[in-house]
Amino acid sequence: MNPKVYSSEDFESKYTYSGDLGFFWSPEKTFFRLWAPTATEAKLRLYKTGDSAAEDLIEEIDMTADVSGTWVAEKNGDLNGVYYTFSTVVEGKESAEVPDPYARALGTNGKRSMVVDLSSTNPKGWENDKGVFYDKNITDAILYELHVRDLSMDESSGIFNKGKFLGVSETGTKTPGGISTGLDHIKELGVTHIHFLPSFDYGSVDESKPEENQFNWGYDPMNFNIPEGSYSTAPEKGEVRISEMKKMVQKLHENGIGVVMDMVYNHVFHADEFCVNVLVPGYFSRIDENGVYSDGSGCGNDTASERSMVKKYIVDSVKYWADEYHIDGFRFDLSGLLDIATMNEITEAVHPTHPNVIFYCEGWNMQTKVTKPIVELANQYNSEKMPGCSFFSDTIRDFLIGTAFDAEEKGFITGKELHGSLLGKCFRGMPDWCKNPSKCVNYVSCHDGYTLFDRISVALPKADFSEKIRRSNLAAAVYMLSQGVPLFLAGEEMLRSKTKPDGSFEHNSYKSPDSVNSIKWSNLEKPEYKKVFEYYKGLISFRKAHGALRMKTPGEVYSHVTDVRTGEINVPAFHIWGNVNGETAEAIFIAFNAETEEKEIYLPVGKWSVRIFDETAGTEHLFFAEEKIKIPALSAAVMIK
């Protein structure tokens, strides 16, 4: 069948099913519903185990055609823990067996789905867990981007459950020298949310070989609605990864920390093998009549989110994570390949029951071959059309360190002379593509590209260690004190480096070993690293203490932020004043000295209490300044009155 048909009005009006799909368990019977409108037959197979190589078929059941292209089957008895697959016959050809697209549990490596009594996977007290971040604006968030393995794999983490969800929720863990690691460290740092790299089931790590210590970021989706098996202590037991992830979420919530999941709906691991595409050939992906996939993602295929049942699938998936796992936020990988209507349906579906949930997108402008005549893509330039979503700002990142495409290019913190009003725009959370600080996610490092410290080392190979620290701290001060939503790569607060055995730096560590990727906690035992951690902690506490740094609307920012001319090109400064967003200080003055020497600047009138100065940051009064201040080389100075 020509896949163009799937995007026709006729097909969509006949075959859009709005009810629930998947399995419906009760102790007496389980009912199954599969959407497969082009099939002439559909089969359900029940198995004893989740091992796709095991010959342990319990029963093969022919499904019955039902409304809107769906197929149904029912089986008496308690099927909790029974594994199953679907297959279809389309145009006379029987498909491979695949897991249920609406699977809630899986066997090892996600080839068979499992019927599960989800209530049995809930940790004790789960009914009282309701997530965090109620009555807040997204600009109150401070986001910490973390890979599950990176937190615990280094020996110095002192964490027992290395590489697992359970390792994230361990407390009381320390380096050999007695410095707090893992969750205790994150809590002390003060971030509001941990944003996890893909933690749903992905395909690039063989879950049956945990001893091989394989690492992958996980941007290769297999099954969107189940936790990744390699982060579980028993991937072969379908219920274990569910209960372990819930335990982690619960523990983070108990510590006041929200959980954001990085969801990769824009492509799948192998399009030809993805369950939806097997059961309804080519339906999930943008594929032409010759079988060629659109590949704007660079991962081999792009998701056809504009099709009604793909859209429903994505909306259902996000809602499920919020409902079942109490997830507090979602980051959408390459949302520029998805469509605006889908993004809006997601936020509209989730917010009524989960007003605390935040949504933000990696909204680069992408090229993709959409399957309908008019499809508006969910990129950053369309941010105003998606009221519930915020977007990564590559503008502030590139401003601070230079473009991602040329590692040696310099930015503001690595010695590029400041020109124009770009900093002013970024500082206001309103770079050219974004007109609202609540929609602007500010960052300088994430999993992609070099770590901040490595980027500085690459750009300035001759700089000594202390100079690099000052530049790193300056970068943090700029994005942490700007309007918008700060995000940083876990470990940036301790000069994280992805150093290869030959001493060079890895800029694309998606499958590098743990030795490159893991957070090296023992560094915190060294005073220089500990001091950087304290500086980040201080920036965060200062941000949290001042509503004027977290304004919600463009109107507030226009009314309360002014540029201050310091007479020094590379010492930009800002004056934030007046009663806004709960701010109790009369005014805040912020200056960034990007010069390699001390600079003296004039201050706005008044007696200023300096809170952030040189290599110290926090909410405590350090000293008073009036009329003038000398700002040390490569540092921020922040004061209030």
DSSP secondary structure code for residue 121 in this structure: G
| Adjacent-strand bridge partners of 591 | 573, 637
Residue 163 falls in which region: left (phi positive, over 0), alpha (psi -120 to 50) or beta: left
Torsion angles phi and psi, residue 144, rounded to 5: -120, 110
Closest separation in Å from C-beta 466 to Ca ion: 43
Interacting span for Ca ion (CB under 5 A) from 43-51, 92-100, 133-141, 228-236? 228-236
Closest CA to 523 of 129, 214, 156: 156
Q: Residue 589 pairs with which residues in a beta bridge?
A: 575, 639
Q: Does 220 bind Ca ion (CB under 5 A)?
A: no
Note if 525 is an active site residue: no
Least distance to Ca ion, CB of residue 235, Å: 8
Instruction: Report the residue number, 244 or 398, with the smaller CB distance to Ca ion.
Output: 244
- Dihedral of alpha carbons 539, 543, 549, 551, sign: positive
Smallest separation (angstroms) from Ca ion to the CB of 11: 32
State the catalytic residue, choosing from 333, 493, 583, 615.
333
* Nearest-CB residue for Ca ion: 201
Residue 226 C-beta: closest distance to Ca ion, Å: 9
Site track 186-215 with Ca ion (rule: CB under 5 A), x = hit: ---------------x--------------
**Comparing C-alpha atoms, which of 137, 133, 135 is closest to residue 483?**
137
Q: Which is nearer to Ca ion, 37 or 218 (CB)?
A: 218
Which residues are CB-contacts of 419 (< 8 A; sequence separation ≥ 6)? Answer: none
Whether residue 333 lies in the annotated active site:
yes
CB of 273 to Ca ion, least distance (A): 13
Q: Please state, in angstroms and rounded to a whole number, the distance separating the CA atoms of residues 503 and 454.
A: 11
Minimal distance in Å, beta carbon 311 to Ca ion? 25
Closest approach of Cβ 232 to Ca ion, in Å?
10
Please identify, using beta-carbon distances, which residue of 511 and 526 lies nearer to Ca ion: 511
3-state helix, strand, coil in the chain (%, to 5): 30, 25, 45
Options 141-149, 229-237, 371-379, 489-497: segment touching Ca ion (CB under 5 A) = 229-237
- Number of shown-chain residues binding Ca ion (CB under 5 A): 3
- Sign for the CA dihedral angle at 231, 237, 242, 248 comes to negative
Cα–Cα dist 608/381, whole Å: 39
Helix extents (H) in 269-339:
275-279, 308-325
- Listed in order, strand segments (DSSP E) in 475-632 are 485-489, 561-564, 573-577, 587-593, 599-612, 623-631
Q: With CB under 5 A as the contact rule, which of the stretches 226-234, 271-279, 331-339, 427-435 interacts with Ca ion?
A: 226-234
CA dihedral 407→409→413→415, nearest 10 degrees, is 140
Please tell me the total number of residues recorded for the chain in this structure: 641
| Catalytic position from the list 207, 339, 362, 493 | 362
Whether residue 97 contacts residue 87, with contact meaning beta carbons closer than 8 Å, is answered with: yes
Q: What are phi and psi of 463, to 5 degrees?
A: -65, 140
Name, in order, each residue with C-beta under 8 angstroms of 54's C-beta and a sequence gap of 6 or more.
47, 48
Within 396-415, which residues bind Ca ion (CB under 5 A)? none
What's the min distance (Å) between Cβ of 215 and Ca ion? 13
**Among candidates 369, 376, 375, 221, which has minimal Cα distance to 289?**
369
Q: Which residues are catalytic?
A: 333, 362
Binding site for Ca ion (CB under 5 A): 201, 228-229
